[in-house]
Chains A and B, each alone.
Chain A
Amino acid sequence: MKNNFRQTALFAESSCMKANRTVVKRIAKLGLLLMMGMSMNADAGLFGSGGTSWKEEVLLHDGQKIMVERTQLLEGRHEIGQGPPIKEHSITFTPPGANKAITWKDEFSADIGHANFTLLALHILNGVPYIVTTPDLCLAYNKWGRPNPPYVFFKYDGRAWQRIQLPEFPATFKNINLIINTYREGEIKEHEHKTRSGFVSAQDVKEINSSLTQPEYKSILREPIKQGTDGSSVNCMEEVRTRDGWLSLDWFSDQPSYESCLKFCERKGVSPQNCPCKTLFKGAK
């Protein structure tokens, strides 16, 4: 009887343990589901809002002022403690005397992991809009051909935006007149609220940009920036686009011969037009 009782007690304990395990499993499952739900909610809260937009007053080279609307979405890989990069952004405006709005847009580019450019200036000459940008971070700087001064210029031809080179960009345009962002959305919103009509004034654009020390952000330069100039994109390492990623130029220049350099290009999936061997081993072939 005693034995039976003990067995029963053991059985009861075992049942209780089984029941506990089931409860623990259920709690774990519930916890996992809750975590997934919270994670999805956090995502929607942070990035599901469709980004930020604001209005900005732009001072043109002839003293005229126009209103532009800018939008941007920050999203993507970033270091801990830093904000995400610009995934896409746009600027919309109506040139003086025109009745149709024009939009310039820069979208996500998988080869660099974010949008291509940082907006610097908008100018209009004889009804033709021009935009000045700088490649956003070093991979984009390499992707866009390492321009020095580090600008990529666009001209609106009436139908689409075309990239133009520095000599085609009117010399009369000298001012950086857009907010160089752009990880300062709080600051932008603060200035926007300063004016009752809810836009960032041209004076405030100047003030926001004044903290930046890079020479390419001070005015539109027409001369190359010296290598080693503090903070400038021109200091970015020279990189070559491979099948999926980027490799610095010395991977190729350190190859013992032109032939091995070509083999290295092939192995890394570098396209013939991007393979730097011909330039690096000039005269070898």
Chain B
Amino acid sequence: MTTAIEYALMAGAAYISNRDPKNQFPVPSGWLEVKHDSQPSGFEAISFINGSSIASSSEIVISYAGTDADAKFFSNPDKQADLLLGLGYWSDQLGQAAAYYLEPA
């Protein structure tokens, strides 16, 4: 059974594009990281499987990176996504998150 610590490590390991390799989270033992996706919209996600391939895994964990900070609203797609989603509108990141969920398996 997947432990809370393993989930926490997998949650942190979604941050790749903006994080120095030295500070990236380790993958929990027995898990394999697959299907990293990084988009200019600010969307970033990665999956973890507990087998040697998706087909032979009993569990797939999808980890979505949270939106990033930046003082400039107009040049930061993450802040724009925060605002749109907060107001209940559509955002590219939402569509990409849904598409990502459907793709790996």
| Residue ranges of A at the interface with B (Cβ–Cβ < 8 Å) | 39, 42-43, 46-47, 75-82, 84-85, 110, 112-113, 137-139, 213-214, 230-233, 235-237, 239, 244-248, 250-251, 254
Contacts and interface: CB of A to CB of B under 8 A. Distances in A.
Nearest to A136: B20
B4 interface: no
Q: For chain B, what secondary structure do more than half of its interface residues adopt (helix, strand, loop), or is it mixed?
A: loop
Given A139-B38, A254-B54, A78 B71 contact: no
8 contacts: A75-B70, A75-B72, A77-B42, A77-B78, A80-B69, A239-B38, A245-B39, A251-B37
Contacts of B15: 79
Q: How large is the interface on B (under 10, 10 to 19, 20 to 34, 35 or more residues)?
A: 20 to 34
B18 interface: yes
Contacts of A113: 17-18, 40
A247 B18 contact: no
Contacts of B69: 77-81
Given A47-B71, A78-B18, A236-B21, A247 B42 contact: no
Q: Which of A81, A139, A247, A248 is packed against the most chain B CB atoms within 10 Å?
A: A248
B34 A43 contact: no
B9 interface: no
B17 A248 contact: no
Given A85-B18, A138-B16, A47 B72 contact: yes
Contacts of B16: 138, 237
A250 B37 CA distance: 11
Contact of B68 (A79, A236, A237): A79
B80 to A, nearest CB: 11
B41 to A, nearest CB: 8
A232 B40 CA distance: 25
Interface in B52-101: 53-54, 66, 68-73, 75-78
A118 to B, nearest CB: 10
A231 B71 contact: no
B7 to A, nearest CB: 19
A246 B17 contact: yes
Nearest to A42: B71
Given A77-B68, A79-B19, A137-B19, A245 B34 contact: no
A245 B40 CA distance: 6
A84 B70 CA distance: 7
Contact of A248 (B34, B43, B68): B34
Contacts of B66: 80
A80 B67 CA distance: 9
B71 A248 contact: no
Closest 6 CB pairs of A and B: A231-B22, A248-B36, A245-B39, A77-B68, A80-B69, A246-B38
B33 interface: yes
A79 B54 CA distance: 30
A142 to B, nearest CB: 10
B39 A235 contact: no
Nearest to A231: B22
A85 B53 CA distance: 35
B54 A138 contact: no
Nearest to B42: A77
Given A80-B68, A110-B40, A231-B22, 13 more contacts: A77-B69, A77-B76, A78-B18, A79-B19, A80-B66, A81-B69, A137-B17, A214-B22, A232-B21, A236-B21, A239-B36, A246-B17, A247-B35
B79 to A, nearest CB: 9
